[in-house]
Amino acid sequence: MAFREPSTTQALLARAHSPTSAERIFSDKIQHRSIFLRPTSPPPQETARQARRKERERKEKKRKKALKPKPLSANQRRKLGLYKVPREGQQYATFVPLHQLWLGYVREILGSEVYTGGQGAAIKLSAADFHGAEIEVARSACTGRVGIKGIVIKDTRFTFEVITAKNTIKIVPKEGTMFRVEVPPPDAPQPAPDSDEAAAQTPTTKSLVFEILGDQFSVRPADRANRKFKQHFFRKI
């Protein structure tokens, strides 16, 4: 049996370690250790067929995106008059059903607080939508606005657009104006009284009346729903 001479690595290990340790280190860490020529394989080259397919998918995606209609900008909506009420539609009676819907909506969010009011009702009302509410100008820096009453058909950041009982649309700025809103409680079916004594015993329910400080409502309705109002002194009241 021919004797195999130790390699250079084994000779160097034998100089630093005992024969047993040198043999163990060589077999465990050097002899059976894998040598990677490159860490990863290169990605396969794209064939012409795959390139054509990828280009077709890109064009199809671009075509579908072009077919999808884009939303109109604010300037385009104004030019088209989407926010304008046509003259034939400026009728107070047309918006009365909208006001009835708003009453049902605000009664639902208030619940039992429609009878009691309080801070809880104020928090809910500050985040409510006022499209369809019937408001009245109670106080204003401009005395000519006092007494304007109508149904809100448009609530913007700085104004309330209302239609009055005289079928007239008026734009009321919120700045320096106090608005009054009345929410009657839901009607409870009651039998008609047979006498004056029975009528006197019939309980009367008062409407919930609250006032809105327009300066604090100078926020878009969508932003006001998530805004927290803080109580602080206001000099303009």
Domains with residue ranges and CATH for the chain: 90-187+204-224 (2.30.30.210)
In percent, the amount of the chain with pLDDT more than 90 equals: 24
How high is the pLDDT of residue 173?
A: 92
How high is the pLDDT of residue 102?
A: 92
The four Cα atoms 120, 150, 145, 235 give a dihedral, to 10 degrees, of: 10
Instruction: Kindly tell me if the per-residue pLDDT of 31 is higher than 80.
Output: no
Q: Listing from the earlier edge strand, what are the strands of the sheet with 149-155? A: 169-173, 159-163, 149-155, 134-140, 177-183, 208-213
Q: What is the mean pLDDT of the chain?
A: 81
Sign of the Cα pseudo-torsion (141, 145, 150, 154, in order): negative
Of residues 224 and 23, more confidently modeled: 23
pTM summary value:
0.61
